[in-house]
Structure 1
């Protein structure tokens, strides 16, 4: 089978195509012929050796995890009606491959009529967006700021918050992303402009997936009694929170993320159904051939692509 291996920590050039033995599923597992694999900012952090402690990885390893494809084999104890099913799942051994093994208990059938790239785009990001809103609920009349507002996760988060009746502002960079946010039905501010914070009325809620100086600027906008939800650090650092911030605000930081995992299957089914029904629109930014994983990582780090980035294997063309 074809896979991408990170041979060491470093730049995108450490990602190399390799041939590996095709695996056989053990008890409780199924084998998936991968059509599409997800690639994201977290993958680049781990590849550089800067990944969060919750994701302990040591080279050599196959990056990624989220995949979409077709079940081709099942292990002992797994119902044979999985064979031939279109699914999304996570591969514990890494997702940048044309064949993976997955736990049948964390594999989800893709609804009829829903394209695999769109289903994959909501597997992780959609379920996380739903979890963030369960942990920090919003309601009609709330002013909500999402930073960033049109990434793979942010674009789903702004839609879900808007569906709850909140007035949502997406913080984005560049006119193309401003236009995309408006297509999703929310107002946008371009944080490339020095005065962007002056365009945001004191929000009731901030969802921050960037951290660093941008996250700090968003945090400072919150009115007293507001809610801050930190879920990412694409800047390379979490937003710094002081004791004063925690006194005047309700704060939830990245420690919330592991709490989401036990209930993830329910949320995955929820967002797959919402997407299939047309009530949730994932933004797929670009799809690269699997062998161009290094190029995909370069573009992620340069912020060259808006929306979810996917890798395509030969199975997608068959």
Structure 2
């Protein structure tokens, strides 16, 4: 099979196209002929040798990647043969996704609805499962003021849609005007590369009921100061620096650890939600290094996918 191997930790150039033996599904696994692969910011951190987030860090060389979509071509001895030929989304556990074939546990497989293309399904299920979990956790309601950081990203764009859908007043915080232009209609925008963006948030809202903080660093710290007493502050990432210190938040702090529901259940809910994934760029599998470089350079909007 075709695959991308991480040869050592370092710059994007450590991601090298290789030919490897096809994986064989064992036990209760299926083999997916992969059509589309998700790339996450966490995967760029793992590649660089930084803290690996939710997955244990294997030692190089290995094939990275977690979220894949495609057609089941074979099953292990404990799996249902009726899955063969089905289009599915699956998660590998953080290893083996950047490849033309991937072995995935049946428990981590979700059927793709007919109305969704495989790339759209991968973009939606990968970030949508997190968006749905965080949205259920924070439970915004009509009339509340909600700030979504990185609102032009794959996850942020879905959180904007979900909050607008319940009638919340949404402010999408983004890095520049190009990214502001892709935030969903109905949301206000602020650009945190412009001085005074926090003052603009105060002018619009008078204080925030809810913040989805996926950026951390100085931006997260500033957003924490905009929360009303009794508001909610959801910490779910540190794309712009260290995670926001919960002690700095005047309201109630929630984190990814507080999310309930299994990964397949949340992914299935996202696929059935009617949300529209923002897929900003796609790269052929062999150009995974370029995709990583673009994400790290903050040159992307929405979700980035590899097409096989």
State the TM-score, normalizing by the size of structure 2: 0.94
**1:251 match:** 253
Q: How many pairs are equivalent?
A: 302
- Partner of 1:144, secondary structure, is strand
- Equivalent position of 1:263 in the other structure: 262
Q: Residue 196 of structure 1 corresponds to which residue in structure 2?
A: 197
Aligned with 1:306 (options 293, 298, 301): 301
Provide Cα deviations, 1:155-207, integer angstroms capped at 9, x if missing partner: 00111111122111100122222121143x31111111111111112111000
Q: Distance in 2 between matches of 1:127 and 1:24?
A: 27
Q: CA deviation at 1:149?
A: 0.8
2:191 corresponds to 1:186: no
1:25-45 CA distances to partner (integer Å, 9 max, x unpaired)? Answer: 111000001011111211101
- Tell me whether 1:208 sits opposite 2:208 in the alignment: no
**1:95 offset after TM fit, Å?**
0.5
Whether the aligned pair in 2 keeps the contact of 1:33 and 1:98 (CA below 8 Å) is: yes
Per-residue CA deviation, residues 118-170 of structure 1 (Å, 9 max, x unaligned), is 10011121011111012211111110000011200000011111112211110
Work out the CA distance in 1 between the residues paired with 2:265 and 2:289: 33
Contact residue 171 and residue 190 of structure 2 kept, 8 A? yes
Gaps of 5+ in 1: 314-318
For 1:38 and 1:47, the matched residues in 2 are separated by 15
Shift of 1:3: 0.7
CA shift at 1:103, angstroms?
0.7
**Is there any run of 5+ residues in structure 2 with no aligned partner, and where?**
none
CA distance in 1, matches of 2:2, 2:86: 22
Alignment of 1:24-173 (within 5 A): 24-52=24-52, 54-57=54-57, 58-92=59-93, 93-173=95-175
SS at structure 2 position matched to 1:170: strand
For the Cα contact (< 8 Å) 2:124–2:276, is it kept in 1?
Answer: no
Q: Is the contact made by 1:36 and 1:69 (CA closer than 8 Å) also made in structure 2?
A: yes
Are the equivalent residues in 2 in contact too, given 1:182–1:188 (CA < 8 A)?
no
| C-alpha distance in structure 2 between counterparts of 1:53 and 1:154, whole Å | 18
Q: Secondary structure at the match of 2:154?
A: coil
RMSD: 1.4
Cα displacement string for residues 213-239 of structure 1 (whole angstroms, at most 9, x for unaligned residues): 011111111111111000011123111
The equivalent residue for 1:235 is: 240
The aligned residue for residue 316 of structure 1 is none
Distance 2:36 2:70 in 1: 7
Cα distance in structure 1, aligned partners of 2:20 and 2:280: 29
Q: Note the C-alpha offset of 1:264.
A: 2.4
Measure, in 1, the Cα distance between the counterparts of 2:162 and 2:263: 16
